[in-house]
Structure 1
Amino acid sequence: MSEPASSLTGNLRQMIAVLEAERQALAGLDADALTEVARDKEKLCDAIAPFGPEALDPQVRDLAEAARSLNEVNRRVRNLLAANITTRLEALGAARPAYRVRGATIA
């Protein structure tokens, strides 16, 4: 395996570990850990950005697909958490409509 390919493989393995840590942070609602994970993901994205599809042998392609899948699961969990929080806040009356039509009649 060439040096760039081993670098990409290592970075993808690290990304998978970071995405698993993100899942744990989401499960524990650990804001500090989520902030750290976001930084780590950004650094790893910068590290893998120079590589294109030509760098993906079957092993690296499998790692990239595993990372993509984990990221998608984490994205869905984040969206569910955000929707749950929105629902709870609206139930408390924190969200008010931007405008309200009062006494409007249509002729």
Structure 2
Amino acid sequence: MLGDTTIVVRPDNEMYMGFHGKFAIHPFNGRKLPIIYDAILVDKNFKTGVVKITPAHDPNDFEVGKRHNLEFINIFTNDGKINSNGGPEFVGMPRFKAREVVVAALHKNGTL
């Protein structure tokens, strides 16, 4: 989640038509995440029909990143800790500890 660069919806999903071209704000690092269309990755019948994209850390997201010319943000140091791209409160945390902290923070602020 800390390396997310965009949010993707299907172009034929009427529920999200008005969001294309707008932005969401990343809850931890304040990065503006553009909301774009991608008919290949997103299954509108699966859960919300919305997918967050982390091109530098996921093979499917990598393909979306290439298709849409997205930014690829590496949030890891060579030894698997969070670097400054992941957000100031996570810098230096081992990746699995950061996952726990992210989940706890999302629970605390009511978004998970």
| TM-score for the superposition, normalised by structure 2 | 0.25
Tell me which structure has the larger Cα radius of gyration: 1
Q: Which has the higher strand share?
A: 2
Which is bigger in relative contact order (C-alpha 8 A, separation at least 6)? 1
Q: Which has the higher helix share?
A: 1
